[in-house]
Structure 1
């Protein structure tokens, strides 16, 4: 009896190890496979968006005002502590609510939060940060796109929010010192897990806008690899 139990336990352990190895291999290889690299542009390049990373997490940055949308109507300035109305850019990031609200620093990470996030057990949030300028650096790349492509990006971002009965985004009230006075959080759709991370969301945003992206990525490096200097 014990022999059968140990045998089954051994098979289970080997299966888990095998799945982890497959995941690690996919996470290493798939980011190098490009999509939309040679896609036909959908009109002249009329607007600039940006991809911005803090070294772990990728945000999609868009101008606050354009002929297609005024983001202040979706994510109002007044929802920030600063309530500054002169911002020119908004960055959008999707992720696990527990990570966002309970882990402002890596030293604050709890096992329960990480476990829920990895295994599809939590809920998600949209993190919006406002900026007055957007300097291009190694961690912030400019991407010029057409109005048609931007329209598709807008649709993708808007669909990531949850809305109330009045079709307004639902703000998450926070009192977290780990973030600045120009940040706001909102209820989001979808659930974070090992296969759908914050960077997967950003990568899919680029796909939606017909821009260079990788086949799949869990990390920011996969996205930025596609925009490395030629």
Structure 2
């Protein structure tokens, strides 16, 4: 095989990779504009939930406790650094375990972490954050949903947690938390560039019968439907 053939082969492979990246970016920008409409079940919408982004990861934020669910029983306050018990909301997001633990902000992103996350090379995790209050803004939107919708949302979220032999959520022992009010838990499923933390949040909204993008890898794809 001549040097010329080898060079042409390398260029061809690089061209294919660049083409895939370009197609992915275009689809990631365009498909989110295709919306999935909210489904009105006719029930009173009296339970507040929020969609929240820190610029990298998105969460579904729910009441810590009501008569339908008490998250503190499954995600104990004892697993938080603060050990406080007076929180009113809990934000839960799913994503790549390495990406979560190593990339709290875009400035912390490593090439090796991105590659592992994009190509199904690492485990996934649930990031659970307790809040005292929630404030709406560009990064946080409130949605009122019904009891039936909330029940479906809770099931969708719970089903993504990995469990031990006793059925309990499995906390990840780590100091790589983002504050004194959050913890990580083992999760089911594998993160990829086709199914990101934002894709999961988008699907959570669908499960609750709320507005969503047909598909999105980004938080922008979600929030554009809640302007």
Q: Same fold (TM over 0.5)?
A: yes
Look up the match of 1:170: 170
Q: How does 1:175-194 map onto structure 2 within 5 Å?
A: 175-176=175-176, 179-194=178-193
Q: How does 1:4-43 map onto structure 2 within 5 Å?
A: 4-37=5-38, 39-43=39-43
Displacement of 1:51 in angstroms is: 0.4
Look up the match of 1:76: 76
**Structure 2: distance between partners of 1:25 and 1:104:** 26
Runs of 4+ in 1 over 6 A off after TM superposition: none
Per-residue CA shift, 1:33-76, capped at 9, x if unaligned? 10024x33352212110001112221100001112110111111
Q: TM-score, normalised by structure 2?
A: 0.93
Look up the match of 1:202: 201
Per-residue CA shift, 1:114-135, capped at 9, x if unaligned? 2101111111110111011112
Q: How many residues align?
A: 226
Q: How does 1:1-230 map onto structure 2 within 5 Å?
A: 1-2=1-2, 4-37=5-38, 39-176=39-176, 179-228=178-227
Displacement of 1:110 in angstroms is: 2.6
C-alpha RMSD of the superposition: 1.6
**Structure 1: distance between partners of 2:208 and 2:199:** 14
Contact 1:102/1:109, CA 8 A, preserved across alignment? yes
Displacement of 1:18 in angstroms is: 2.1
**Structure 2: distance between partners of 1:137 and 1:22:** 32
**Structure 1: distance between partners of 2:161 and 2:72:** 14
* Deviation larger for 199-208 or 95-104: 95-104
Q: Please state whether the residue corresponding to 1:171 is helix, strand or coil.
A: coil
**Structure 1: distance between partners of 2:10 and 2:167:** 51
* Gap regions ≥5 residues in structure 1: none
**Structure 1: distance between partners of 2:162 and 2:104:** 23
* Deviation larger for 39-48 or 212-221: 39-48
* Gap regions ≥5 residues in structure 2: none
Q: TM-score, normalised by structure 1?
A: 0.92
**Structure 2: distance between partners of 1:104 and 1:215:** 27
* Deviation larger for 56-65 or 98-107: 98-107
Q: Please state whether the residue corresponding to 2:130 is helix, strand or coil.
A: strand
Contact 2:95/2:197, CA 8 A, preserved across alignment? yes
Displacement of 1:113 in angstroms is: 1.4
Compared CA separation, residues 55 and 108, structure 1 to 2 (3 A): closer
**Structure 1: distance between partners of 2:45 and 2:224:** 22
